[in-house]
Amino acid sequence: MRRALLVAVALAAALALPATAFAHAALLKTFPQASAELDRQPGAVRLTYDEAVEPRFAIVSVTDADGRSQTTGAPRRAAGDPYTLEVPLRRLARGWYLVFWRIISADGHPVRGAFTFDVGPNPGPAPEFAIPPLSETAATPGLVAARWVAFLATMVALGLFALRALVARPLVERVEGTRLRALSAAFLVALALALLAVPAYLLAATAQFALRSVLDLGALVPLVRASVFGRGFLDLELDLALFAGAALAALWLDRPERGRRSLAALLALWGALAAGGAALLAPSAAGHAAQTAPRPLALALDWLHLVAGSLWLGGLAGLLVLWAALPASLRPAGLAVCVPRFSRVALLSVLALVGSGTGAAILHLPTVASLWRTSYGQALLVKVGLLAAALALAAVNLLHTRTALQANAPDARAARLLRSLVGGETLLVAGALAAAAVLTSLPPPAKALAGLGRPAASVGPGPVERVVERGGYRLELGVRPNRVGVANEIAIRLLRDGEPVRGARVTATFTMLDMDMPALAYTLPERGSGRYERSAPALVMVGRWALRFDVEPARRAPFSVLVVDRANG
């Protein structure tokens, strides 16, 4: 108990520290700037991100107050700058314009935003633009299901091969009349499903990102390698094909009844294991791990997590196949050979799974509270809960069923109990993998959460009107209309002992909490007796924002008030 408590405290302390994660492409700067007042019209709109962006997956629209398009071409990379997109403009009349953008991050997540600018002189008040729906995610039910099937088939195939080639092989030599054909057949079925499911998922994801039909293969196939995400899953398919060739050769050359493998069989076996390991590295290089610092550690943890999960899940599926394939008279003796050997592999896999998962959580979660405050953390909690239930069944197998099967006279009741426990364990681990499919389709929490502190209030969606008391001051906060892509009126009325506070310096800082991007800070000039306000397009993306009001009263101690806002398009 003391050791468990120390581990829990260490994990909590590590999670409480800031982590560096860059899961989404962040917009760093724009030309024109948001809410800029231009004397002359720009020839193009330019958007600069913190990673290279593929123009073929990008949408950049520029529209006037009546919704008419003002662009003369598709988005393209700026000359010599892969981080900047530009779209040419027609000649703009005096007035306000809306820029709407949508890109795909390197890890396959869609990101959108909007801002306005005006062309003068005297463009008039900013209109209410019709902004396209801004909520989009890679975690749609269809894509999550396709991702789950692809990873389930891949991991089960790799685990079944490991069980057949490394764990169950001595069965034929030790128990007369047994064969491993059922394991080989199950492996071939899982491998075939994986080879079909991976490209199907890639095409479905590419179709959604490119806003095309999944049946439009002529347009989709050239796009699958246009993103880091697509190249990663194509590499996975290639590695699976190499693994399939080496694994089939290894099974063809293997003669379990002879005890020792031939040199050719050993070479094929090690080639298959190497290709299988490379296959599990490919999705890591196209996902969250590749966008997280330190990158080598994140990739190693993610790869180890997938390897351990494959050995555990595929091994469990293999035990069920063995149970069903072995004759009833040989079942207890056959399981007595395989179960203890698999238990040792499973124990090491579980330890690696827990250790690598804990390390990845420390890298991806900026605070402990991210576990229950964010969708990413909530999906992680579901995954952990399912794995914990599976571990409980695994403990019964390890401590009771394995011992009963290793007795001098293996008990048939122990074999039946094993089937029930392993069946439940397999379903729980497969469920945890479904939670992981959701988890990897969501962006990790932004590191801004680490410095958030305790907010005084949560507001939005819709116009904000909130009163906050802080250190003898009364702050009447307002944000209208609290919408993305338009100029918002940011106001604060400052009172002390019922009297307006004059001559203070007030700064409002807007920090996006759903992804990493630069904070936006605005000084609020005093417009009346104790009233400080400004109009600014501070909200450039749908989601949660931290609004920090820094107040410096004349000849008094400064203070800050933090509000968490939810803004819609």
CATH number at residue 75: 2.60.40.1220
pLDDT band for position 158 (cuts 50, 70, 90):
very high
The tokens describing 152, both together, are: 């389930």
Does 317 share its domain with 356?
Answer: yes
Residue 351 counted as domain residue: yes
220 vs 35, higher pLDDT:
220
Centre a 10 Å sphere on the Cβ of residue 285 and count the other Cβ atoms it contains. 17
Q: Indicate the residue among 405, 430, 448 that finishes a domain.
A: 448
Residue type, 188: L
Tell me whether residue 329 is in a domain. yes
CB 445 within 8 A of CB 365: yes
Residue 68: C-alpha distances to residues 42, 53, 60, 112, 118 (Å):
17, 26, 14, 20, 15
Assess if residue 420 is contained within a domain: yes
> Taking the CB of residue 119, how many other CB atoms lie within 10 A of it?
21
Q: How many CA atoms lie within 13 A of 369 on its CB side?
A: 11
CATH number at residue 496: 2.60.40.3340
Q: Say how many residues make up the chain.
A: 569
Instruction: Flag whether pLDDT at 17 surpasses 60.
Output: no
Same domain, 409 and 498: no
Q: Is residue 426 in some structural domain?
A: yes
Q: Is residue 16 part of a domain?
A: no
Which residues are within 8 A (CB) of 194 and not within 5 positions of it... i.e. 6 or more apart? Answer: 150, 153, 154, 156, 157, 240
On the question of pLDDT at 126 being above 80, the answer is no
Q: Tell me how many degrees the CA angle 332-338-344 measures, rounded to the nearest 5.
A: 130
Q: What are phi and psi of 457, to 5 degrees?
A: -165, 160
Say yes or no: 387 and 514 in one domain: no
User: What are the angstrom distances between the C-alpha of 36 and each of 33, 87, 381, 488, 494?
Assistant: 5, 18, 44, 14, 28
3-class DSSP assignment, residue 537: coil
pTM: 0.76
Please state, in angstroms and rounded to a whole number, the distance separating the CA atoms of residues 424 and 228. 37
Note whether 322 and 177 are same-domain residues. Answer: yes
Residue 57's pLDDT is what? 82
Q: List the one residue out of 567, 556, 543, 553 whose CA is nearest residue 490.
A: 567
Same domain, 405 and 358: yes
Contacts of 412 (CB under 8 A, 6+ apart): 328, 331, 332
Q: Do 139 and 442 touch, CB atoms closer than 8 A?
A: yes
- Number of neighbouring beta carbons within 10 Å of residue 344: 12
Quick one: CA torsion of 424, 429, 433, 438, rounded to 10 degrees? 70
Residue 167's pLDDT is what? 93
What is the chain's mean pLDDT, rounded?
84
Residue 523, pLDDT score: 92
pLDDT digits (tens, 9 = 90+) for 370-400: 787 778 888 899 999 999 999 998 888 777 7
User: Do 426 and 466 fall within a single domain?
Assistant: no
Query: Which residues on adjacent β-strands are paired with residue 113?
Result: 101
Helix (H) or strand (E) holding 264: helix 263-285
Domain assignment present for residue 408? The answer is: yes
How far apart CA 103 and CA 57 sit, in angstroms, is 6
Does residue 427 sit in the same domain as residue 461?
A: no
Contact 522, 487 (CB under 8 A): no
Question: Do 199 and 246 fall within a single domain?
Answer: yes
Tally of structural domains, the chain:
3
Mark whether 429 and 458 lie in a shared domain.
Answer: no
pLDDT band at 408 (very low <50, low <70, confident <90, very high): low
Per-residue pLDDT at 273: 95
Q: Are 191 and 158 within 8 A, CB to CB?
A: no
For 409, the 3-state DSSP assignment is coil
Q: Are 433 and 313 in contact (CB under 8 A)?
A: yes
Question: Residue 505: which domain range?
Answer: 452-567
Q: Which two tokens stand for residue 435?
A: 């939670």
* Domain end marker among 395, 426, 448: 448
Which residue type does 174 have? R
Residue 294 has a CB neighbour count (10 Å cut-off) of: 10
Which of 387 and 54 is assigned the larger pLDDT? 387
Alpha-carbon span 171 to 290, nearest angstrom: 41
Share above pLDDT 70 across residues of the chain, in percent, rounded to a whole number:
89
Nearest to 326 by CA among 338, 312, 343, 342: 338
Q: Any idea which residue has 């293996």 for tokens? A: 410
Region 390-417: mean pLDDT is: 76
Averaged over 79-90, what is the pLDDT? 90
For residues 396 and 249, give the distance between their C-alpha atoms in angstroms, rounded to a whole number.
Answer: 37
Asked whether residue 136 is assigned to any structural domain, the reply reads no
Phi-psi region of 45 (alpha: psi -120 to 50; beta: other; left: phi over 0): beta
Domain boundary among the residues 392, 416, 448 is at 448
Note whether 498 and 353 are same-domain residues.
Answer: no
Looking at the fold, whether 190 and 332 belong to one and the same domain comes out as yes
Q: What are phi and psi of 88, to 5 degrees?
A: -70, 150
The percent of residues above 90 in pLDDT, for the chain, comes to 39
Q: With 80 as the cut, is the pLDDT of residue 451 above it?
A: no
pLDDT at 141 over 90: no
464 φ, ψ (degrees, to nearest 5): -100, 130
Residue 184 pLDDT greater than 90, yes or no: yes
Report d(CA 414, CA 401) in Å as an integer. 6
Distance separating alpha carbons of residues 166 and 177, to the nearest angstrom: 20
328 falls within a domain: yes
Q: What is the mean pLDDT of residues 100-120?
A: 78
Q: Does 165 lie in the same domain as 105? A: no
Tokens of 534: 């400004």
**What is the pLDDT, as a whole number, of residue 137?**
62
